[in-house]
Structure 1
Amino acid sequence: MPKETGRKVIASNRKARHDYTIEDVFEAGIVLSGTEVKALRMGRASLIDGFCEIDGHEIWMHGVHIPEYSQGSWTNHGPRRKRKLLLHRDEIDRLESKTREKGQTIVPLSLYFLDGRAKVEIALARGKREYDKRQALRERQDNMEAVKAIREKRDR
């Protein structure tokens, strides 16, 4: 059987880009059990309530839902257990110093397989206020209307 290549996205957290201003992005490995990997290969996961926490020079991901593997036995995993992330020490130290600032947090953006290995894309993010969210939606809508007007003028 040939080795898996490329990037296969399992789950993405689109709401995080709406709720947070993304400042820096990191790619991390995940420590998983066998049944979790099988459940991910079936394409089932949810990052909606996920967040990361640094505890004693280790980074842990909480709230990510990977459902139990349907053919699993007593060795099945807990769907919302905390999972250790694998990053270089200097990256963890940088994240730790940044998250001490007010309003900074670490959120998972996407979960994917890269060349057969499970990876998660995490971001250092700052929470948006309600008016920031409305302004971002308004800007996106204005850009879409401008592109539409240009397209209509060009087609005439």
Structure 2
Amino acid sequence: MVKETGHKLIAQNRRARHDYHIDETYEAGLVLTGTEVKSLREGRASLVDGFAHIHDNEVWLEGVHIPEYSQGTWTNHSARRSRKLLLHREQISRLIGKTREPGRTLVPLSLYFSDGRAKVEIALARGKREYDKRHAIAEREAKRDMERALRRRR
């Protein structure tokens, strides 16, 4: 048996960085069934509607779509079930305090394999207003225009 090493990205939530101000990020393990892991190894998952919440001092991931495994039988999982996240007790306590503040939420940023284990990067985030989003787009375009102008000068 060969031990898997490295970092293999499965899915990313690019929309989260557009819709939220990211304050802190955490790496969490996932409690998965066998068919979910096999489906993830095929590189199939979507974090688009995903969010995390805290219930009974445990962190749960909701709305993440991991499609059913194609060779799965009656043991197959449901695609959008709740999945428990594995974090240290101190991290959970910190998140409980932070998410009680108004406007704070937990959003998944990426789903990946790290040394053969499925991990999710969750972020403590604040929602952006519409004018914040427009401002960020304008800054990005201005930076792109400046770089383009500098390249032309050379």
Q: State the TM-score, normalizing by the size of structure 1.
A: 0.98
Note the 1:105-144 alignment, pairs <5 A.
105-144=105-144
SS at match of 1:2: coil
The whole-number CA distance in structure 2 between the counterparts of 1:140 and 1:89 is 38
Distance 1:3 1:153 in 2: 51
Partner of residue 30, structure 2: 30
Give the CA RMSD over aligned residues. 0.5
Identity in percent: 68
Aligned length: 154
Deviation, 1:3, is 1.4
Q: Which residue of 2 aligns with 1:86?
A: 86
1:98 aligns with 2:110: no
1:58 positional shift: 0.3
Residue 148 of structure 1: aligned partner = 148
The answer to whether the aligner puts 1:11 opposite 2:11 as a matched pair is yes
Report the Cα offset of residue 146 of structure 1. 0.5
1:126 is paired with a residue of what secondary structure? Answer: strand
AA in 2 matched with 1:123? A
Q: Post-superposition shift, 1:56?
A: 1.1
Match of 1:51?
A: 51
Q: What are the ranges of 5 or more consecutive residues in structure 1 without an aligned counterpart?
A: none
- The letter for the 2-side match of 1:115 is D
Indicate the SS of the match to 1:98: helix
Partners in 1 of 2:53 and 2:82 — Cα distance? 10
